[in-house]
C-alpha cells in the first residue's frame, strides 16, 4: 500500500460514515498566536471544538501536516519525527466515545480496509485522577470488540490525556492504539508507551470534553467532541512490517541517497561520536520538515518559526558534516528535490515553490558553512580548558552570536564530549542582548508608524498597495515581515528569496500607480478575525480568536487587517516611486519607497 492509498482509504472510510473531507491547514497556525506551529489536526478546529458551528457539519475528516519540535531529541530513533502527516476524524458534538472506538477498530481490522490482525493491537486508556474518573467506558468498549483485558493498560495523565495544544483550550482523556512490532520486550515492565520501540503508537482517539482555563481548571465543554489522529508514516510502516518509518516510500529514496554518499567513504564510523544511522535519519527528518516549512512561507531567521527552521537546517548541515559529506555535493538540495518529488501530488504547492525552497535552503547552508568551521575551532578551544566539564553561558552565547550556533547545537556538541552547558547563564545573556537590540530599535523607529501626520498616513495606504502588488508580481506566498513609515518614506520588508529584477520592480510600481490613478475609496469595517480571514483579508492575524479587528479595503484591489490610519481615496497619493530594493535578512527583502 502506498501512503496515498492509505490516506484515500482513510478519508473514504470516514466519508462512508457520514464525514465531510476537509482540507488540511498550513503548518503556521492562522488563528492561534500562542503556538508556533500546527502540532495536531485540532489546531485549525479549536473554535469548532469550543462550540462554533462548522460550515461542513458535525462529522469531519482530514489529513493534516504537523510539526512537533518537542520530539526533536528523539529524532534518529525508529519512530519519532519533527514533521509528520496525521489523518483525523472529528465529531463536533455528534458521536462520542463508544462510536469513535468502534469506527477506529473497524478501519484497522476490517478486510476491506487495513486488515490488521487484532492480536497485534494493544490499547491504553486514562487511569483517572482528580480531573476525571478512570475511563471504564473505553475499557468496556475495547473488551466488547475482543481486545482482552491483558492488552488494555490504564495509564495516568502524562500518557493518556491530550491537550490543550496551547496553554488553554479543549482537551480530554484519550485511548491510544499500539501495534506490537514483535521486537523483544526491553524489560519485564515493557508495555505500550514505554518508548523502546516494541509497541508503536499508531492512533490516538481523544475524548475532548474539557476546556482548560488560564487558572489551570478543567471545565466540562458544552459539547463533547472526538479528535483522532493516526500517524501516516507509522501506520504505513507497520502495514509493510517495517520496524521504522525510514524504510517507507516517504523516506526510502532519501535514505538510499545518503547511503550512496557514504558508500564511497573509507572511513570507519565506529568512532563513538559518530552514529551514522542517527545522523542519516536526522538529516532526512530535518530537511523534510524544512521543505514543508519553506513551502508554508517560513524563512530562516532568529525569531519564532524562522529560528526553528534555522535550527533544523543547521543541524542537518552539521550531521552531513559528521558523515563527511562534502558541502560541494549540495546533499540537502538533492534531498529537498527528492521530497518535492515524493510529495508533489499531495502538495502541489511544493512544485510551485520549488525554486524558493531550494534557494532558501542553500542560502541558509552557505551562511552557516562560513561560520561553522571557525565556530567548531572555537568550540574545540573552549572545551580544552574547561572547569567542571561545563561550558559557560557566556561562551555558548558567543558561539550563538558570532558563529550562529543554535544553543541546542552547542548542547548537542557538548553532550558528545560528555560536557554540559550553563543554559541558565546563556538565557540571561540572550535576554540581555534582546533587550539591548529592542531598545536600539525603539529609539530608531518607534514602531510601525512614526506619527499620524498626513504624509505618513498616505504612505501607509501606499504600503497596502505595495503589499498587494508584490503578491501579484511575486506570488501569494509574499507576506509582510516588517514595516516602518515616517513622513519621508515607507519601508516594507517581505519574504522573498532573491533580488527582484528591474522588470519586477517596474511592474510593481506600475500596478501601484494604476490603483492610485483609479481613485479608489478606502473603506474600513470591523469584524471578527474569522470573518476577516473568510473575507480574504491578508495581514497579521495576531489577535485572539473572537476579538474584533479592523479590515481596510482599497477598492477591490486590497483588503488587509490593520489598525489604520489611512487616506480616504488613493488619488491623494499622487505618484508612487520605489527608491531601493535590498536584502534585509535571510530570505527577507526590503523596499524603500516614496510618494511624489
Binding site for ligand SER (CB under 6 A): 40-42, 88, 162, 204, 206, 227-229
Residue 366: C-alpha distances to residues 113, 258, 273, 330, 387 (Å): 47, 20, 25, 10, 34
Helices (H) and strands (E) in the chain — how many of each? Answer: 18, 18
Query: What's the CA gap between 420 and 87, in Å, rounded?
Result: 39
Output the residue with the shortest Cβ distance to ligand SER.
229
What b/e sequence results for 572-589 when a residue is b if at least 16 CB atoms lie within 10 Å of its CB, and e otherwise?
Answer: bbeebebeebeebbbbbb
Is the CB of residue 80 less than 8 Å from the CB of residue 86? Answer: no
208 vs 459, beta carbon nearer ligand SER: 208
| Closest alpha carbon to 208 in 153, 169, 159 | 169
Q: Cell for 71?
A: 520530539
Task: Please identify which residue in the block is written with the cell numbers 482530514.
Answer: 62
228 vs 461, beta carbon nearer ligand SER: 228
161 vs 403, beta carbon nearer ligand SER: 161
Query: What's the CA gap between 19 and 443, in Å, rounded?
Result: 55
Q: Is the peptide bond before 164 cis (omega within 30 degrees of 0)?
A: yes
DSSP 447-493: SSBS---HHHHHHHHHHHHHHHHHHHHH-TT--EEEEEE-SS-EEEE
Task: Please identify which residue in the block is written with the cell numbers 465529531.
Answer: 91
206 vs 473, beta carbon nearer ligand SER: 206
Q: Please say whether the dihedral angle defined by the alpha carbons of residues 523, 529, 531 and 533, taken in this order, is positive or negative.
A: positive
CB of 124 to ligand SER, least distance (A): 13
- Compute the chain's Rg from CA coordinates: 26
Q: Cell for 310?
A: 534555522
CB of 202 to ligand SER, least distance (A): 11
84 vs 400, beta carbon nearer ligand SER: 84
CB of 270 to ligand SER, least distance (A): 38
- The rounded Cα 592 to chain-centroid distance in angstroms is 31
40 vs 138, beta carbon nearer ligand SER: 40
231 vs 587, beta carbon nearer ligand SER: 231
CB of 37 to ligand SER, least distance (A): 12
Query: What's the CA gap between 206 and 225, in Å, rounded?
Result: 8
66 vs 578, beta carbon nearer ligand SER: 66
CB of 341 to ligand SER, least distance (A): 28
Query: What's the CA gap between 100 and 228, in Å, rounded?
Result: 8
CB within 8 Å of 568: residues ≥ 6 apart: 521, 522
CB of 140 to ligand SER, least distance (A): 22
492 CB burial (10 A radius; 0-12, 13-18, 19+) = buried
204 vs 495, beta carbon nearer ligand SER: 204
CB of 40 to ligand SER, least distance (A): 3
Quick one: CA torsion of 278, 279, 285, 286, rounded to 10 degrees?
A: 140
100 vs 317, beta carbon nearer ligand SER: 100
CB of 460 to ligand SER, least distance (A): 41
Amino acid at each position: 500500500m502506498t501512503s496515498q492509498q492509505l490516506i484515500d482509504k482513510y478519508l473514504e472510510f470516514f466519508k462512508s460514515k457520514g464525514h465531510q473531507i476537509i482540507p488540511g491547514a498550513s503548518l503556521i497556525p492562522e488563528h492561534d498566536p500562542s503556538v508556533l506551529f500546527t502540532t495536531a489536526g485540532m489546531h485549525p478546529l479549536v473554535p469548532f471544538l469550543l462550540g462554533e458551528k462548522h460550515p461542513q457539519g458535525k462529522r469531519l475528516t482530514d489529513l493534516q501536516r504537523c510539526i512537533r519540535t518537542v520530539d526533536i531529541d528523539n529524532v534518529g530513533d525508529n519512530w519519532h519525527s519533527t514533521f509528520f502527516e496525521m489523518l483525523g476524524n472529528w465529531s463536533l458534538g455528534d458521536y462520542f466515545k463508544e462510536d469513535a472506538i468502534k469506527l477506529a477498530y473497524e478501519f484497522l481490522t476490517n478486510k476491506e480496509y487495513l486488515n490488521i490482525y487484532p492480536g497485534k493491537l494493544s490499547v491504553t486508556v486514562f487511569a483517572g485522577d482528580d480531573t476525571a474518573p478512570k475511563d471504564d467506558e473505553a475499557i468496556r468498549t475495547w473488551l466488547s470488540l475482543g481486545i482482552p483485558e491483558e492488552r488494555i493498560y490504564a495509564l495516568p495523565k502524562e500518557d493518556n490525556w491530550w491537550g490543550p495544544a496551547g496553554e488553554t483550550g479543549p482537551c480530554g482523556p484519550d485511548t491510544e492504539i499500539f501495534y506490537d512490532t514483535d521486537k523483544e520486550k526491553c524489560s519485564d515492565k515493557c508495555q505500550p508507551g514505554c518508548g523502546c520501540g516494541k509497541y508503536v503508537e499508531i492512533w490516538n482517539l481523544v475524548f475532548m470534553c474539557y476546556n482548560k482555563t488560564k487558572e489551570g481548571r478543567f471545565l466540562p465543554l458544552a459539547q463533547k467532541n472526538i479528535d483522532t489522529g493516526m500517524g501516516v508514516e507509522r501506520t504505513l510502516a507497520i502495514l509493510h512490517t517495517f520496524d521504522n518509518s525510514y524504510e517507507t516510500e516517504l523516506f526510502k529514496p532519501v535514505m538510499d541517497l545518503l547511503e550512496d554518499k557514504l558508500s564511497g567513504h573509507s572511513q570507519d564510523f565506529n568512532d563513538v561520536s559518530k552514529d551514522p544511522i542517527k545522523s542519516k535519519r536526522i538529516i532526512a527528518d530535518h530537511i523534510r520538515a524544512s521543505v514543508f516549512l519553506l513551502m508554508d512561507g517560513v524563512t530562516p531567521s532568529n525569531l519564532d518559526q524562522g529560528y526553528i527552521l534555522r535550527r533544523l537546517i543547521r543541524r542537518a548541515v552539521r550531521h552531513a558534516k559528521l558523515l563527511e559529506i562534502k558541502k560541494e555535493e549540495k546533499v540537502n538540495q538533492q534531498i529537498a528535490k527528492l521530497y518535492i518529488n515524493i510529495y508533489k501530488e499531495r502538495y502541489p504547492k511544493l512544485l510551485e515553490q520549488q525554486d524558493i525552497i531550494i534557494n532558501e535552503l542553500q542560502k541558509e547552508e552557505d551562511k552557516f558553512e562560513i561560520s561553522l568551521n571557525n565556530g567548531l575551532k572555537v568550540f574545540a578551544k573552549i572545551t580544552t580548558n574547561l572547569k567542571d566539564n561545563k561550558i559557560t553561558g557566556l561562551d555558548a552565547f558567543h558561539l550563538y552570536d558570532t558563529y550562529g550556533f543554535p544553543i541546542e547545537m552547542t548542547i548537542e556538541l557538548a553532550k558528545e564530549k560528555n560536557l554540559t552547558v550553563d543554559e541558565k547563564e546563556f538565557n540571561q545573556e540572550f535576554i540581555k542582548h534582546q533587550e539591548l537590540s529592542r531598545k536600539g530599535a525603539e529609539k530608531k523607529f518607534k514602531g510601525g508608524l512614526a506619527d499620524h501626520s498626513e504624509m505618513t498616513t498616505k504612505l501607509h495606504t501606499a504600503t497596502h498597495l505595495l503589499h498587494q502588488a508584490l503578491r501579484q508580481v511575486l506570488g501569494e506566498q509574499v507576506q509582510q515581515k516588517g514595516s516602518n513609515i515616517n513622513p519621508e518614506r515607507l519601508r516594507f520588508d517581505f519574504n522573498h528569496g532573491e533580488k527582484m529584477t528591474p522588470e519586477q520592480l517596474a511592474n510593481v510600481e506600475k500596478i501601484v500607480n494604476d490603483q492610485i490613478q483609479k481613485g479608489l475609496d478606502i473603506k474600513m469595517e470591523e469584524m471578527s478575525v474569522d470573518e476577516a480571514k473568510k473575507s480574504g483579508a491578508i495581514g497579521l492575524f495576531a489577535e485572539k480568536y473572537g476579538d474584533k479587528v479592523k479590515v481596510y479595503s482599497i477598492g477591490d484591489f486590497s483588503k488587509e487587517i490593520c489598525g489604520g490610519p489611512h487616506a480616504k481615496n488613493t488619488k491623494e497619493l499622487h505618484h508612487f516611486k520605489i527608491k531601493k530594493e535590498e536584502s534585509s535578512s535571510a530570505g527577507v527583502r526590503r523596499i524603500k519607497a516614496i510618494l511624489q
